[in-house]
Structure 1
């Protein structure tokens, strides 16, 4: 009986390489499935953004001009400009009586 302690075993190396290949293929398939899932989610959220922007635009058009200016500033990500200043005036004095 001969001991090959310092020699590589070719059949063990091939089996290990095949195991690594199978694991790599499985990981590739799992990541492809995850990528397809994320692509579907991104598409769904893009449709939701479009729908919400349309709903917001329609509801904002029903309000008076001071609210329209506030909603425009909020929709633009908080950019400040001349339209962002809204002054509200009291229509009748408040009595403490």
Structure 2
């Protein structure tokens, strides 16, 4: 039976306890408060989806249900803000 998951941890990393840990995603995820949310930017989300499509990352087990509505809300907010700024004359 083939492995259907990807396991990444610090102990198996060849760069453990080096300067590479400072900006490592695994270090960031593992060192955070377990109750805290992990927030990624839209650009990071797109990168993660691209890496998933080509097999570099596994599918999310708990997919974000409202990513599209969140992105739409972000754009609506910024468009409204721009309209308000334009009417300040």
Say which one has the larger Rg.
1
- Provide the TM-score with structure 1 as the length reference: 0.29
Q: Which has the higher helix share?
A: 1
- Provide the TM-score with structure 2 as the length reference: 0.31
Higher relative contact order (CA 8 A, sep 6+): 2
